[in-house]
Amino acid sequence: MLALIQTIVLALDLYWWIIIASAIFSWLYAFNVVNPRNQFVGTIGNFLYRITEPALRPIRRVMPDLGGIDISPIILLLLIFFVRQLILTTIAPALLS
């Protein structure tokens, strides 16, 4: 059971960093720091979009319009943090005792 809990926590940690990378990439793309016509840059952007958009879309649908500010990645990071802490402080000790 410990291996399953550690695997879930690792997956949440990896997704955490992918969301951060996606947010940074979107800023770089928006401010024309990266060349969107470069095939490698396009591949990375497409990968990050496809990985993060299914989780961010429901949050964006519920969020009110804040103009040009998108705080859905921050909300998703908070949710991941909450789930991770719930697993480590409540579920894991109950299952392992």
% of residues, the chain, pLDDT over 70: 100
In this predicted structure, what is the pLDDT of residue 73?
96
In this predicted structure, what is the pLDDT of residue 41?
94
24: in domain: yes
pLDDT digits (tens, 9 = 90+) for 30-73: 998 998 889 999 999 999 999 999 999 999 999 988 888 889 99
DSSP string, the chain: -HHHHHHHHHHHHHHHHHHHHHHHHHHHHHTT-S-TTSHHHHHHHHHHHHHHHHHHHHHHHHSPP-TT---HHHHHHHHHHHHHHHIIIIIHHHHH-
6: in domain: no
Residue 97 has pLDDT above 80, yes or no: no
3: in domain: no
4: in domain: no
**In which domain, by residue range, is 64 found?**
11-96
User: pTM for this structure?
Assistant: 0.90
Total domains present in the chain: 1
